Amino acid sequence: MNSPDPRETDAPHEPAGGPTPVPIPAPVMPPSAGARLPSVRIGIWGGTASGKTTFLAALPIAVANDPATYGTWRVSGTTEEATRFLLDGVDTLTRQRQFPNATLAPARLAWSFHGETIEPGRGPSLLRRRPRRRESEFVLEIQDAPGVAYSQNRVAPDVVDFLAEANGILYLFDPLAGDAATDNFQYFYGVLQMLVARTAAVGKLERGRLPQHVAVCVTKFDDPVIFNNAVRAGFVTQDADGGRLPKVPDTHAQAYFDWTCQNHRHSGAPLVREALRTFFLAERVSYFATSAIGFHLNWSDTFDFRDFINIEHVEGRPRVRGLARPINVIEPLVTLERGIRGRLGRDARN
């Protein structure tokens, strides 16, 4: 067989004085390529206006932000619908500087994540292994449904099906909820009961509890009422350098959630807290103080307590004032993925 003439396989030479060749873009992998990645199914659960869709819209922005703690990630849609959701979400938050519209119908989305995650050090302090970097990729299957699908009297069965089959759950707790329409409890307990019944029926309860890993995200941390109260209660620390961004340290996040529930005693919040403890395995539940839009920073990109609100109102509608700087949006997902993968690996070895 003749070997190919190298001149034929080389990039075409531009003919002297001839037209400039049309540039050829690099081939794009077909969307189905992502489907070969291991899949982690994560349901998102929360009441009406708890911030579910804004959280998902902020995800690509969070992924592009500071990689220091949780590694570097790239996210892409595995279907046209999933890609459109990503692009629309980012466009809404960044170019239009608006919040997404209320969700009308459930959407199932699959996004692929590729990246380098940083495993925290383990073991007693003297012998602790140093944090390790690990290449990771997975497909995140997610369902974004309107809050009403989770409400006590109208739980949508397919929403429960999705959660029942999920490895992990992002549970969004709205600290601003309180009235009958938004009360966290009424979007929680009915779904929980159906979830337990369904899981018990197929013999998948573990030690009498639901097997899913749960990331409890207390949303809207940037809201001035929420934030000022959290500052007064002593939950907030600031990064020592960079933009000096405020946060609730991971070690205090569960206490922050408990405290938020206590402050919402008139609503069903304390019952949500108790039910989370009763029905899920404690070691699989993590807590976060989350904000999809984050704080406004001053001209030198530094947090200023005198002027931190990142929402403005235009013609009565809330708008994002400047850049969205998500806080604890990628972290809950990475924590869920890490926990799920670690457990599945251990189960496979036993």
Binder of residue 54, out of ligand GTP, Mg ion, none (CB less than 5 to 8 A by kind): ligand GTP
As measured in angstroms, the least distance from the Cβ of 261 to Mg ion is: 23
Q: Where are the alpha helices (DSSP H) in the chain?
A: 6-9, 52-64, 80-90, 157-165, 189-201, 224-232, 250-263, 269-279, 330-349
- If the CB atoms of residues 214 and 292 are measured against ligand GTP, the closer one turns out to be 292
Binder of residue 51, out of Mg ion, ligand GTP, none (CB less than 5 to 8 A by kind): ligand GTP
Q: Is the dihedral of CA 283, 285, 290, 292 positive or negative?
A: positive
What token pair was written down for 118? Answer: 């940083």
As measured in angstroms, the least distance from the Cβ of 203 to ligand GTP is: 32
Q: x/- string (CB under 6 A) for ligand GTP, residues 36-65?
A: ----------x-xxxxxxx-----------
Q: Is 143 in the site for Mg ion (CB under 5 A)?
A: no
Q: Which of 50, 53, 184, 219 binds Mg ion (CB under 5 A)?
A: 53
Cβ-based neighbour number of residue 25 at 10 Å:
5
As measured in angstroms, the least distance from the Cβ of 182 to ligand GTP is: 9
Q: Which residues contact 159 (CB under 8 A, 6 or more apart)?
A: 106, 143, 145, 149, 150, 191
- If the CB atoms of residues 53 and 151 are measured against Mg ion, the closer one turns out to be 53
Cα gap 33→339, rounded to integer Å: 25
How many residues touch Mg ion (CB under 5 A)?
A: 3
Exposure of 60 in the CB half-sphere (CA atoms within 13 A): 20
Q: x/- string (CB under 6 A) for ligand GTP, residues 208-237?
A: -----------xx-xx--------------
Q: x/- string (CB under 5 A) for Mg ion, residues 62-91?
A: ------------------------------
Q: Which of 65, 94, 103, 229 binds Mg ion (CB under 5 A)?
A: 103
Cα gap 282→294, rounded to integer Å: 28
Cα gap 71→318, rounded to integer Å: 32
Cα gap 42→143, rounded to integer Å: 8
As measured in angstroms, the least distance from the Cβ of 20 to ligand GTP is: 47
Restricted to residues 176-215, the positions that interact with ligand GTP (CB under 6 A) are none
Q: x/- string (CB under 6 A) for ligand GTP, residues 304-343?
A: -------x------x-------------------------
Q: Which stretch binds ligand GTP (CB under 6 A): 24-32, 95-103, 278-286, 337-345?
A: 95-103
Cβ-based burial of 265 (10 A; exposed 0-12, middle 13-18, buried ≥19): exposed
Binder of residue 318, out of ligand GTP, Mg ion, none (CB less than 5 to 8 A by kind): ligand GTP
Q: Which stretch binds Mg ion (CB under 5 A): 97-105, 161-169, 241-249, 341-349?
A: 97-105
Give the distance from CA 62 to its chain's centroid: 9
Q: Which residue has the tokens 């009424």?
A: 186
Q: Which stretch binds Mg ion (CB under 5 A): 98-106, 222-230, 288-296, 298-306?
A: 98-106
- If the CB atoms of residues 53 and 310 are measured against Mg ion, the closer one turns out to be 53
SS3 135: strand
Contact between residue 175 and residue 218 where contact means Cβ atoms under 8 Å apart:
yes
Query: How large is the C-alpha radius of gyration of the chain?
Result: 23
Q: Is 219 in the site for Mg ion (CB under 5 A)?
A: no
Cα gap 333→69, rounded to integer Å: 13
As measured in angstroms, the least distance from the Cβ of 53 to ligand GTP is: 3
Q: Which spans of this chain sit near ligand GTP (rule: CB under 6 A)?
A: 46, 48-54, 99-100, 102-103, 146-147, 219-220, 222-223, 291-293, 311, 318
